[in-house]
């Protein structure tokens, strides 16, 4: 039997084990017990699956500034043995309800797990922090993402990345920032042509007007928050989109996911899409880089298919 775990193989940190494995039964049981909530119940289970830093076979450059604010920083993850050709770049935007969260907490494998998965699959990883609400409301988050993309285009070649092949991935509030970047071309910045795809993991826009009243980031602007209006804006974009969400996302997230999937398909925007059974809002991201390939298997195929 193949032993499950991370291993240093041919100059890269990779997961060794059963490629087709899905959510471990004990973890799935915790997720189902928590129900449609933002639950941390499985964090310890997933944390135990990852190696400790420093990560073998991966070079990490921490806290590089892409802007003057203390939060405008990013980390770059590169395979220690670089591929012969410039690698695609995966730029990740963390969640946190617009008011909290971080690209990295010392001693925790999250959000580093996104970057380890990227390097294990032939990519260079870029993990960003950004200004937070309520101190910095709309459009600070989307503008910071645009600035980070510009920094990546201008600097990633020295880390082995391809400046013309950037994929942007956000989770929760981070997925909103990515969706807003796609939906508002006036905020995309000078490096927009370098973005070859946008990955939205459980974004949230209210599908009813009464829910769009008191966002710490969007304020009381109903148009910015409207799920219906955002779907229309996303449909008007030509940026390839991959949408994913969890069975046990909170109800509002599920409503927007289902409406966006249907609305974009009706508009002829045939996006990548994954529904993550036995997952909740938090552990759908924690599982990235483990044997659970329910998300990452289809996502990797989709990334490789983009031109």
CATH of the domain at 181: 3.40.50.1820
Q: Which is nearest to 126 in space by CA: 60, 196, 203, 42?
A: 60
pLDDT given for residue 110 in this prediction: 96
Is 94 domain-assigned? yes
Is 7 domain-assigned? no
The torsion angles phi and psi of 20, rounded to 5 degrees, stand at: -90, 5
The answer to whether 299 and 118 are in contact (CB under 8 A) is no
Total domains in the chain come to 1
Is 37 domain-assigned? no
C-alpha count within 13 angstroms, C-beta hemisphere, residue 204? 21
Is 22 domain-assigned? no
Is 14 domain-assigned? no
Q: What is the number of other CB atoms lying within 10 angstroms of the CB of residue 238?
A: 7
In a structure prediction context, what are the per-residue pLDDT tens digits for the chain, which is 307 residues long? Answer: 223 343 433 333 333 333 345 899 999 999 999 999 999 999 999 999 999 999 999 999 999 999 999 999 999 999 988 888 999 999 999 999 999 999 999 999 999 999 999 999 999 999 999 999 999 999 999 999 999 999 999 999 999 999 999 999 999 999 999 999 999 999 999 999 999 999 999 999 999 866 556 899 999 899 999 999 999 999 999 999 999 999 999 999 999 999 999 999 999 999 999 999 999 999 999 999 999 999 999 999 999 999 8
The torsion angles phi and psi of 87, rounded to 5 degrees, stand at: -95, 150
Is 34 domain-assigned? no
Domain that holds residue 255: 49-305
What is the DSSP-derived secondary structure letter of residue 105?
-
pTM tops 0.85: yes
Is 38 domain-assigned? no
Q: What is the number of other CB atoms lying within 10 angstroms of the CB of residue 64?
A: 15
Peptide bond preceding 111: is omega within 30 degrees of 0, i.e. cis?
yes
Is 59 domain-assigned? yes
Dihedral angle of Cα 298, 6, 79, 75, to the nearest 10 degrees: 80
How far, in whole angstroms, is CA 4 from its chain's centroid?
25
How many whole angstroms separate alpha carbon 180 and alpha carbon 75?
22
Question: pLDDT tens-digit profile of 238-248?
Answer: 999 999 999 99
């Amino acid at each position: 039997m193949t032993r499950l775990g991370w291993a240093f193989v041919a100059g890269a940190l990779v997961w060794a084990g059963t490629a087709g494995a899905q959510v471990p039964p004990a973890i799935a049981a915790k997720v189902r017990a928590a129900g449609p909530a933002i639950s941390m119940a499985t964090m310890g289970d997933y944390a135990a699956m990852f190696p400790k830093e420093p990560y073998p076979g991966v070079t990490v450059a921490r806290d590089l500034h892409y802007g003057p604010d203390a939060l405008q920083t990013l980390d770059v993850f590169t395979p220690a043995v670089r591929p012969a050709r410039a690698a695609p770049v995966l730029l990740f935007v963390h969640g946190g309800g617009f008011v909290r969260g971080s690209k990295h907490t010392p001693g925790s494998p999250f959000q580093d797990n996104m970057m380890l998965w990227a390097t294990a699959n032939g990519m260079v990883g870029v993990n960003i922090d950004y200004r937070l609400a309520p101190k910095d409301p709309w459009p600070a988050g989307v503008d910071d993402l645009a600035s980070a993309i510009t920094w990546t285009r201008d600097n990633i070649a020295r880390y082995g990345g391809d400046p013309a092949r950037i994929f942007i991935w956000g989770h929760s509030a981070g997925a909103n920032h990515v969706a807003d970047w796609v939906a508002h071309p006036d905020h995309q910045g000078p490096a927009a042509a370098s973005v070859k795809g946008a990955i939205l993991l459980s974004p949230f826009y209210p599908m009813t007007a009464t829910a769009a009243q008191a966002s710490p980031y969007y304020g009381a602007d109903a148009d910015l928050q409207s799920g219906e209006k955002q779907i229309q804006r996303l449909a008007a974009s030509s940026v390839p989109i991959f949408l994913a969400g969890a069975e046990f996302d909170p109800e509002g997230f599920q409503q927007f996911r289902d409406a966006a999937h249907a609305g974009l398909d009706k508009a002829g925007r045939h996006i990548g899409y994954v529904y993550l059974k036995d997952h909740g809002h938090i552990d759908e991201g924690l599982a990235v880089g483990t044997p659970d390939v329910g998300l990452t298997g289809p996502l990797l195929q989709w990334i490789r298919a983009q031109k």
